[in-house]
Chain A
């Protein structure tokens, strides 16, 4: 009755494919390695640091990088390396949790706005516009004024500030995806809106969201620095890269290493997030594009 088509060997599972794609991308691999180190630092930092975060040694202040103090000492004689190591935890926390909040709130809002359109869309996006138009610092100050200073509140503040960006990206992607034929096909078989959003829309909008996530992580860490500068972020005695960077400003002439090393730490973290983000985005795309084939139109 029907024609039998020969298949060929079945490929590996989806997960294995994604993993191998990420690993194949050497830049992403590098980023992953750096992140692994950072994660390690965040977890065991305080235990393996050669000195305490606030161990002062006034006699040794402003020492440049040496064998004893790899990153030198600061104005209070504290070991910069240990401080950078110990601060990893706080900074990563801020980055991950605040972006997590932004994602967790912004993406659903954007998806609903994009999928349903109409009044819901207008209302939600106007709300996002209002939040977005607040200068980040002002908003953070406002939140902190209400809830008090501290790490948690700083994270909430940053999360709320970045929420509109995710909402906007999610909304734009959803608008593009909702008119795809496979979404129409899903409707035709009776899938509920919730199911369509979950299984058909969301997986197809992750790419731009992932990219934005890695960008936002970078900015979140930098925002924390600004907040710390105003005394609103991580509170002393907890060290934070942002604050170290801010504090180091004052000593840029005599002890540039006070700013350089925390700066490098931020740079390294941000870059790794970006690289991993790019790699993940590419790996998640099941389509293998070759020169000849693209979206059904073969050049030949």
Chain B
């Protein structure tokens, strides 16, 4: 399964104990139609300073998976099981009070739509300073000074003047920067970003990605970045986890995963991306069918129905386990996909 080493080969980091360790995380929801199994046994580690990308489409459980890490899944109607080890504590069994000490303090979260995460009736200065005053007892002056520092850090021009502005006075890209500023204000060791650039223009996205990378260099925080965009992953992540129907179906160093994808779903995703220029395929590959309904998950491999590589009925009954196909590269598939390709 996911290793603990830093991803880039050029790094000479020693093997350190993981900052975040998720073990067999499961999340179910009670719905009118039955129990929805949204996250089904998620296990992975994140090393300090590392960027792990979680890739999946809607229904893959990627968002619920990280909400569950910080106890943000309402229980009921949800039910969360499993362990989440962070800085020596198991967040899954922590009290609400302990969790609040962690959220916004040791772990920062940035969401897709900054407009809904920011309070429209409070100034940016107030909101930025909130976690400082809350977690560190800073005075109003201290908090403001730090807020100005941060706005500057995230590249917002004229930060002192902007302290008194309200969220709607900022553009989408700026608001996302403010969210990031709010995230790093307490110098967290982990930043969780859930599709932070999906709603942004591609040029703004490039700016935000660059900003996050700079911040990571400076502050040494680890990042869990959730996205459906494999291009962003290529430029940002050290390691990648691909999720489907609530499980990790492939994981590895980004070069390995994108260069040599072993799971039929990963291959399908990559093949369905339009590639302009010399490599333009005459026709895009399209994975047929739809992802399974979380209320009615198949007994075996969740991707079996749509798989173009399946040779027989083997995986209809048992969920394939993750197996290591190359150092640090794990796939939940019984077939040797490259071999099938060659025939």
Q: Is A66 an interface residue (CB 8 A)?
A: no
The interface residues of chain A lying within 8 Å CB-to-CB of B288 are: 3
A interface residue numbers (CB < 8 A to B): 3, 5, 288, 290-292, 298-300
Known: A288-B32, A290-B31, A291-B29. 9 other contacts (CB 8 A): A3-B286, A3-B288, A5-B289, A290-B36, A291-B36, A292-B36, A300-B60, A300-B63, A300-B64
Contact residues in A for B32 (Cβ distance below 8 Å): 288, 290
Q: How far apart are the CA atoms of A105 and B59 in the complex, in Å?
A: 47
B196-234 interface code vs A (CB 8 A; 1 in, 0 out)? 000000000000000000000000000000000000000
A291-B36, A291-B77, A292-B38 known; A300+B59 contact, CB < 8 A: yes
Give Cα distance in the complex from A89 to B29, angstroms. Answer: 49
Within 8 A of A (CB), among B297-322: none
When distances are taken between beta carbons in the complex, the residues of chain A under 8 Å from B33 are 288, 290
Q: Which residues of B contact A5 (CB under 8 A)?
A: 289
Smallest CB-CB A-B distances: 7 pairs: A290-B31, A298-B58, A300-B61, A300-B38, A291-B29, A300-B64, A291-B31
CA distance A300 to B195 in the complex (A): 12
Asked if A298 and B286 make an inter-chain contact with CB atoms under 8 angstroms apart, the answer reads no
Q: How far is the CA of A292 from the CA of B78 in the complex (A)?
A: 10
Which chain B positions have C-beta within 8 A of A291?
Answer: 29-31, 36, 77-78
**Chain B residues within an 8 Å CB radius of A300:** 38-39, 58-64, 246, 294
Residue-wise, chain B 60-94 has the 8 Å CB interface mask toward A (1 for contact) of 11111001000000000110000000000000000
Docked CA distance A300–B37 (Å)? 10
Contacts of B63 in A (CB 8 A): 299-300
Shortest CB–CB separation between residue B226 and chain A, in angstroms? Answer: 11
In the complex, per-residue mask of B139-168: 1 if CB is within 8 Å of any chain A CB, else 0? 000000000000000000000000000000
Q: Which residues on the B side are within 8 Å of A298 (C-beta)?
A: 58-59
Interface string of B284-298 (1 = CB under 8 A from A): 001011000010000
Distance in angstroms between the alpha carbons of A3 and B286 in the assembled complex: 10
Complex Cα–Cα for A291 and B33 (A): 10
Nearest A residue (CB) for B65: A300
Whole-angstrom distance between the Cβ of A297 and the nearest chain B Cβ: 8
Per-residue interface assignment for chain B, residues 39 to 60, with 1 indicating a CB less than 8 Å from any chain A CB and 0 otherwise: 1000000000000000000111
- Closest B residue to A290 by beta carbon equals B31
Q: In whole angstroms, how far apart are the Cα atoms of A291 and B59 in the complex?
A: 13
Q: Cβ of B39: which chain A residues have Cβ within 8 Å of it?
A: 300
B29 touches A292 (CB 8 A): yes
Minimum Cβ distance to chain A for residue B75 (Å): 12
A47 to B36, CA, bound (A): 56
Q: Tell me the chain B residues, 4-35 only, with Cβ under 8 Å from chain A.
A: 29-33
CB neighbours of A3 from chain B (8 A): 286, 288
- B60 to chain A: which residues have CB within 8 Å? 300
Q: In the complex, which of the residues A3, A5, A288, A291 has the most CB atoms of chain B within 10 Å of its own CB atom?
A: A291
Residues 264-299 of B contacting A (Cβ, < 8 Å): 286, 288-289, 294
Give the chain A neighbours of B294 by CB distance below 8 A. Answer: 292, 300
What is the distance, in angstroms, from B117's C-beta to the closest C-beta of chain A? Answer: 15
Contact among A288, A290, A299 for B64, CB-based, below 8 A: A299
> How far is A225 from B288 in the complex, measured between Cα atoms in Å?
66
Please give, as numbers and ranges, the residues of chain B lying within 8 Å of A290 by CB-CB distance.
Answer: 31-33, 36
Whole-angstrom distance from the CB of B286 to the nearest CB of chain A? 7
Q: Which residue of B lies closest to A3 (CB)?
A: B288
Compute how far the CA of A288 lies from the CA of B31 in the bound complex, rounded to whole angstroms.
Answer: 11
C-alpha spacing A292/B77, complex, angstroms: 10
Give me 19 A-to-B residue pairs in the complex whose CB atoms sit less than 8 angstroms apart, sorted by A's number.
Answer: A290-B36, A291-B30, A291-B31, A291-B36, A291-B78, A292-B29, A292-B31, A292-B36, A292-B294, A298-B58, A299-B63, A299-B64, A300-B38, A300-B39, A300-B62, A300-B63, A300-B64, A300-B246, A300-B294
Chain A residues with CB under 8 A of B30: 291
Q: Which residue of A lies closest to B38 (CB)?
A: A300
Nearest-CB residue, chain B, relative to A296: B58
**Closest A residue to B290 using CB positions:** A5
Closest chain A residue to B67, Cβ basis: A299
CA–CA, A298 to B195, complex, Å? Answer: 13
Query: Within the assembled complex, what's the spacing in Å between the Cα atoms of A3 and B39?
Result: 29
B99 CB to closest chain A CB (Å) equals: 19
| Distance between Cα atoms of A300 and B63 in the complex (Å) | 5
A5 vs B78: C-alpha distance when bound (angstroms): 32
A288 to B32, CA, bound (A): 9
B192 to chain A, nearest CB (A): 15
Residues in A with CB closer than 8 Å to B59 are 298, 300
A291–B32 CA distance with the chains assembled, in angstroms: 8
Report the separation of the CA atoms of residues A5 and B36 in the bound assembly, to the nearest whole angstrom: 23
What is the CB-to-nearest-CB distance from B228 to chain A, in angstroms, rounded to a whole number? 12
- The chain A residue with its CB closest to the CB of B33 is A290
- Which among A3, A5, A299, A300 has the greatest number of chain B C-beta atoms within 10 A? A300
Interfacial chain A residues near B289, Cβ < 8 Å: 5
A5 to B61, CA, bound (A): 24
Q: How far is the CB of A41 from chain B (nearest CB, A)?
A: 37
For B58, list chain A residues within 8 Å (CB): 298, 300
Q: How far is the CB of A106 from chain B (nearest CB, A)?
A: 34
CB distance from A288 to the nearest CB of B (A): 7
